[in-house]
Amino acid sequence: MITKTLQNLRHSLRGSFFGKVLRSVGIAKVGLRYYENRVVKQGTHSCNILGVPMTFAVRSSTEITRIDSLVGEQQFVERIANSLRSDDVFYDIGANIGMISILVAKKMKGKLKRICCFEPEPDNAQELRENLKLNGLSEIDVHQFALGDKEGTCELFVSGDVGGGSHSLASGYKEGARAVEIEIKRGDHFVESSGFPPDVIKLDVEGAELSVLRGLEQTLKAGRLRELFVEVHPKGMELFGDSADELTKWMESHRYECRWSEARGNQFHQHYVFAG
């Protein structure tokens, strides 16, 4: 009860004048530490986004912050949820610990044909599977490999804690990041072999956005993908020799229109729709 009250208070104060005052005098920091310690101690964290209750395993304060940050991404998440139709196939590329896939699965209540999560980082993938069990979901496929424009193995550079950290295929992504060998598959090859072409994709891959989309070029050319939701990482894209402008031009060349774009810190969210 205390933990839930503290969580609601945290969400209501975020961005408010009163919240800023509390942070300025250090009270908010003390309260936040107490709240996070309670949540980590109990081992699970519950939240409610778009009226959907969800529960996640947690082991660190950064993981709690990542889960709670969905509240700040509500418009992006709401657009994804509202885009889905019965019998759709949904790809969550860069699924992390499954926050968006779990929300979508619960929101759609078994109406989707398939949900495919792609999460190459081993610890995140393990926690993703744990979170699916916590939420009573068995219809979501977890694929522990990356999608890109090539086949084989490569190094994934991992930084931070499970669920709350970040990882990238670009060397030099973050100082001190550790390298993990992972499998990578070309998206079009997966689509062909699985028999489940995507209707809607959520893409969050820390700068490798165009690499993933180039690997799905035949799928996009066929117009099979109806909508794409992407978190664009301009600085991360530079490490691959790409840019946000190139991404937009590439999508437009494949008959996709950007219908919505919103800044989020150093990144921004975009929503593309097939224009035919």
Q: Give the separation between CA 198 and CA 192, rounded to whole angstroms.
A: 11
Q: What is the DSSP secondary-structure string of 184-225?
A: EEEHHHHHHHHS---SEEEE--TT-HHHHHHHTHHHHHTT--
Q: Count structural domains, the chain.
A: 2
Q: What is the pLDDT of residue 247?
A: 98
The predicted structure's pLDDT at residue 66: 79
Pair 115, 239 in one domain: yes
Clarify whether residues 224 and 180 are in a common domain.
Answer: yes
Is the domain of 79 the same as that of 58?
no
- Shared-domain flag, residues 45 and 79: no
Q: Are residues 62 and 124 in the same domain?
A: no
Q: Are the CB atoms for 124 and 138 separated by under 8 Å?
A: no
- Residue 6 belongs to domain spanning: 2-67
Quote the pLDDT of residue 173: 66
Q: Supply 130's token pair.
A: 């744990």
Of residues 271, 268, 245, 242, the one with CA closest to residue 257? 271
The pLDDT, as a whole number, for residue 2 is 45
Q: Give exposure, 108-134, as e/b (b: 16+ Cβ within 10 Å).
A: beeebebbbbbbbbebbbbbbbebbeb
Strands 178-186 and 146-148, how do they pair? parallel
- Tens of pLDDT along the chain (276 residues) come to 445 544 554 455 344 443 443 344 444 455 556 656 666 677 898 888 888 999 999 888 778 877 877 766 889 999 999 999 999 999 999 999 999 999 999 999 999 999 999 999 999 999 999 999 999 998 899 999 999 999 999 999 887 767 665 788 877 666 778 889 999 999 999 999 999 999 999 999 999 999 999 999 999 999 999 999 999 999 999 999 999 999 999 999 999 999 999 998 889 999 999 998
CATH of the domain at 141: 3.40.50.150
pLDDT at 49: 83
pLDDT at 169: 85
Q: Do 14 and 52 fall within a single domain?
A: yes
Answer with the one of 44, 67, 90 that is the final residue of a domain. Answer: 67
What pLDDT, on the 0 to 100 scale, is given for residue 6?
46
Q: 80 and 52 in one domain? A: no
* Pair 48, 31 in one domain: yes
Residue 209 Ramachandran class (φ > 0 left, ψ -120 to 50 alpha, else beta): alpha
Strands, E assignment, the chain: 44-49, 52-57, 89-93, 114-118, 140-143, 146-148, 152-159, 166-168, 178-186, 200-203, 227-232, 256-264, 267-274
CA atoms of 146 and 169, how far apart (whole Å): 9
Question: Could you tell me if 175 and 258 lie in one domain?
Answer: yes
Write down the pTM of the prediction. Answer: 0.86
